[in-house]
Amino acid sequence: MRLLHTMLRVGNLEKSLAFYTDVLGMKLLRQKDYPDGKFTLAFVGYQDESEAAVLELTHNWDTDSYDLGNAYGHIAIEVEDAYATCAAIKAKGGNVVREAGPMKHGNTVIAFVEDPDGYKIELIQKAGRND
């Protein structure tokens, strides 16, 4: 068994695709409209689906936004340099909601960014780069 994907419901597919591809550097792996069901599925990731887990962005054509609830946590992405990644995300119009720095009660360097729907993405600096 292996983890295939995590699905997120998005209110505006174009904004979400721009965020995940242009701001976070993922690739659009595949996208398909389902007119009878009035929804679109778009799969994004850093590697092909046969190699790694990806994100499935589900856009229901008649829904502009969702209540994120209080049970969902975040997506985590390993980065070489959290400080530089935050700067690059801000330069591309992304929303950094917690600047890069050591985590509370530890020394791992983390940051948090938010996608257009309010989902949190944690950036975790690769081990050994705690500068």
User: pLDDT tens digits, residue range 69-89?
Assistant: 888 899 999 999 999 999 999
Task: Assign 24 a pLDDT band (cuts: 50, 70, 90).
Answer: very high
Which is catalytic among the residues 49, 51, 114, 122?
A: 122
The percentage of residues in the chain with a pLDDT greater than 70, rounded to a whole number, is 97
Find out whether 44 and 28 touch, Cβ atoms under 8 Å. Answer: yes
> What predicted TM-score, i.e. pTM, was given to this entire model?
0.87
pLDDT of residue 66 exceeding 70: yes
The reported pLDDT for the residue numbered 131 is 45
d(CA 9, CA 57) in angstroms, rounded, equals 6
pLDDT of residue 129: 54
Residue 49 annotated as catalytic: no
Domains by residue range for the chain, with CATH: 5-60 (3.10.180.10), 75-125 (3.10.180.10)
pLDDT of 97 > 60? The answer is yes
- Long-range contacts, 79-82 (Cβ 8 Å, 24+): 79/123, 79/124, 79/125, 79/126, 80/125, 80/126, 80/129, 81/125, 81/129, 82/109, 82/110, 82/111, 82/123, 82/124, 82/125
Residue 64 DSSP one-character state:
S
